[in-house]
């Protein structure tokens, strides 16, 4: 009887608030358009315009505790924002922090079928650089805050928002937030708008939604071969380019040890039935014995699972030689590695040096690694995420997820703050996977659902468990 009554009330509430939700969707669209058309690319100097725009939205709504930090290139490179909404009815719980980034990667009009910094809506999609990575996250959080303020929401814990200006480059904003700008002892966990989300098949079937609790560690290395050189008319038995090429071939064929953690074990358990019979059988073998490298190799070869079973390293840049008629005195490759959580960076360096040793190629890290452990699966966050997503996609599977890339969340995890990628936006796979690429886009429906989702998540997790209206 109570369930029937609750359902009736929920349906009545949904019908009564439908117009309001539509109005907030339109408001979010306006903010999205303005944000996309500010080209917040490194070196263009447009971040201050973006920050000023967002501040101009929040302060009139009563969210006035906003600090703008200049940083990078002797404090003239970019800006990041820390926004605070103090608890109106403090429960004694620590704050939650919401993460997103305002910067985007460069996009050239000649590479697109449209101007990447002119917002467009066509055939059910919003187009523009940043529509998926990550201005949709910035806009969803901003619109949710404005909506909650307008609806009189009274948080029971502090809400902190960090919008960074350099996630796509050096990630100094996240690093400074962790080391200087924020008191992490006051923060219970972070909700990340730059991770998580869903995938839909071209048939319209929703595959599922992932809640990100882990991400790989990013680190690049230089592989450098040197040689005395000489005249190209008298080739030597050794050659820097050949030595480097031999090393890269060995790297290409090398298989790092497969590994499992709580996140990936839960992920593979959940998605096994979506795989081909061969991959499904391999998953069953590997989950039963994580030392079964053959099974892990079969999984890793599946297009959807590349990078999910182990550390992966790949050559991304190449240089060498100094003249057409001279033997090369130097050949160098940049190798980018994404380490499985828990991997010791020193151990990886030793493994790479062993691969390079037969050709006397020197291996050095470019920058220090920032390893982070997986965040524990919090029941309150997982339940809230599940309930929110299933309002739009009933009975869809919710899967713990490890990102093979890196986000600002890694700095918080490294500092001991659990981080959860809880995006509810989605796209059709693989055609909508265009982040950093040509004609980046997001389904209109996914964008609007994400606004409602963030409103729900903030209300529920920062409001003492109160359900979203």
Please state whether 159 falls in left (phi above 0), alpha (psi between -120 and 50) or beta: beta
Q: Which residues contact 308 (CB under 8 A, 6 or more apart)?
A: 264, 267, 268, 299, 300, 402, 404
Locate the domains of the chain by residue range: 16-216+373-461, 217-365
Preceding peptide of 430 cis, ω within 30°: yes
pLDDT at 367: 86
**20 — phi, psi (to 5°)?**
-60, -45
The confidence score (pLDDT) of residue 267 equals: 92
Cβ pair 349, 327 in contact under 8 A = no
- At 463 the three-state DSSP class reads coil
pTM of the model: 0.87
Greatest alpha-carbon span in the chain:
92
The span from the CA of 284 to the CA of 265, in Å, is: 11
User: The tokens of 199 are what?
Assistant: 């995938």
DSSP secondary structure letter of residue 221:
E
Q: With the C-alpha atoms ordered 197, 411, 299, 400, is the resulting torsion angle positive or negative?
A: negative
Q: DSSP assignment, residue 191?
A: E
pLDDT below 70 — which residues of the chain? 1-20, 75, 464-469
Q: Is 413 exposed, middle or buried (CB count within 10 Å of its CB: 0-12, 13-18, 19+)?
A: buried
Write the DSSP assignment of 289-344 as a string of letters. Answer: -TT-HHHHHHHHHSGGGTTSSS-EEEEEEEEE-S-TTEE-SEEEEEEEEEEPTT--
Measured between alpha carbons, how far is 52 from 46 in angstroms, rounded to an integer?
10
395 SS3 class: coil
Cα–Cα dist 53/48, whole Å? 8
Query: Token digits for 233?
Result: 């008319």
Cis, bond preceding 377 (omega within 30 deg of 0): no
**Distance of alpha carbon 297 from alpha carbon 338, whole angstroms:** 17
Q: What is the dihedral of CA 445, 450, 453, 455, to 10 degrees?
A: -120
**pLDDT score, position 45:** 87
Burial of 74 (0-12, 13-18, 19+ CB in 10 A): exposed
Which conformational region is residue 50 in: left (phi greater than 0), alpha (psi within -120 to 50 degrees), or beta?
alpha
Q: What is the DSSP string of 29-59?
A: HHHHHHHHTS--BTTS--HHHHHHHHHHHHG
39-61 b/e (C-beta count within 10 Å ≥ 16 → b): bbbbeeebbeebbeebbebbeee
What is the reported pLDDT for 303?
85
Quote the CA–CA distance of 464 and 456 in Å, as a whole number: 12
272: Cα within 13 Å, side-chain hemisphere = 15
Q: How far, CA to CA in Å, does 349 sit from each of 16, 215, 241, 250, 331?
A: 60, 19, 22, 15, 19
DSSP string, 63-129: --EEEEEEESTTTTSEEEEEEEE--SS--SPPEEEEEEE--B----GGGSSS-TTS-EEETTEEEST
Q: What is the pLDDT of residues 370-429, one digit of tens each?
A: 888 899 999 999 999 999 999 999 999 999 999 988 899 999 999 999 999 999 999 998
Per CATH, is 16-216+373-461 categorized as 3.40.630.10? yes
Quote helix, strand, coil % in the chain, to nearest 5: 40, 25, 35
Place of tokens 């190799």: 297
Q: What CATH number was assigned to the domain covering residues 217-365?
A: 3.30.70.360
């Amino acid at each position: 009887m109570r369930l029937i009554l609750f359902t009736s009330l929920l349906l009545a509430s949904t019908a009564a608030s439908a117009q309001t939700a539509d109005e907030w969707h339109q408001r979010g669209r306006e903010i999205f358009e303005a944000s996309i058309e500010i080209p917040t690319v490194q070196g263009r100097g447009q971040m201050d315009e973006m920050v000023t725009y967002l501040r101009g939205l929040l302060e009139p709504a009563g969210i006035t505790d906003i600090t703008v930090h200049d940083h990078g290139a002797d404090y003239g490179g970019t800006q990041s924002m820390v926004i605070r909404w103090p608890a109106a009815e403090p429960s004694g719980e620590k704050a939650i922090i919401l993460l997103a980034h305002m910067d985007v990667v460069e996009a050239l009009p000649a590479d697109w079928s449209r101007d990447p910094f002119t917002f467009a809506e066509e055939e059910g999609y919003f187009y523009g650089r940043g529509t998926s990575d990550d201005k949709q996250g910035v806009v969803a959080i901003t619109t949710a805050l404005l909506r909650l303020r307008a609806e009189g929401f009274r948080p029971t814990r502090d809400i902190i928002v960090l919008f960074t200006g350099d996630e796509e480059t050096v990630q100094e904003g996240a690093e400074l937030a962790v080391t200087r700008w924020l008191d992490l002892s006051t923060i219970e966990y972070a909700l990340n708008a730059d991770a998580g989300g869903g995938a839909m098949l071209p048939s319209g079937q929703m595959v599922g939604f992932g809640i990100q609790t882990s991400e790989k560690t990013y680190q690049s290395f230089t592989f450098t071969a040197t040689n005395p050189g000489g005249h190209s008319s008298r080739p030597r038995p050794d050659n820097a380019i050949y030595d480097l090429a031999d090393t890269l071939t060995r790297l290409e064929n090398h298989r790092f040890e497969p590994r499992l953690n709580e996140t990936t074990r839960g992920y593979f358990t959940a998605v096994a039935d979506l795989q081909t019979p061969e991959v499904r059988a391999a998953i069953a073998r590997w989950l039963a014995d994580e030392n079964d490298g053959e099974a892990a190799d079969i999984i890793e070869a599946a297009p959807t699972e590349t990078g999910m079973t182990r550390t992966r390293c790949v050559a991304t840049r190449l240089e060498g030689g100094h003249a057409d008629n001279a033997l090369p005195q130097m050949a160098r490759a940049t190798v980018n590695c994404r380490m499985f959580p828990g991997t010791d960076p020193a151990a990886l360096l030793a493994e790479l040096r062993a691969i390079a040793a037969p050709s006397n190629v020197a291996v050095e890290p470019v920058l220090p690694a920032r390893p982070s452990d997986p965040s524990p699966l919090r029941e309150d966050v997982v339940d809230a995420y599940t309930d929110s997503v299933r309002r739009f996609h009933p009975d869809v599977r919710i899967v713990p997820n490890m990102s093979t890339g890196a986000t600002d969340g890694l700095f918080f995890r490294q500092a001991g703050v659990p981080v959860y990628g809880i995006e509810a936006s989605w796209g059709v796979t693989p055609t909508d996977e265009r982040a950093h690429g040509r004609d980046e886009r997001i389904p209109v429906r996914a964008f609007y659902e994400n606004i409602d989702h963030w409103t729900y998540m903030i209300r529920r997790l920062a409001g003492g468990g109160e359900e979203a209206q």
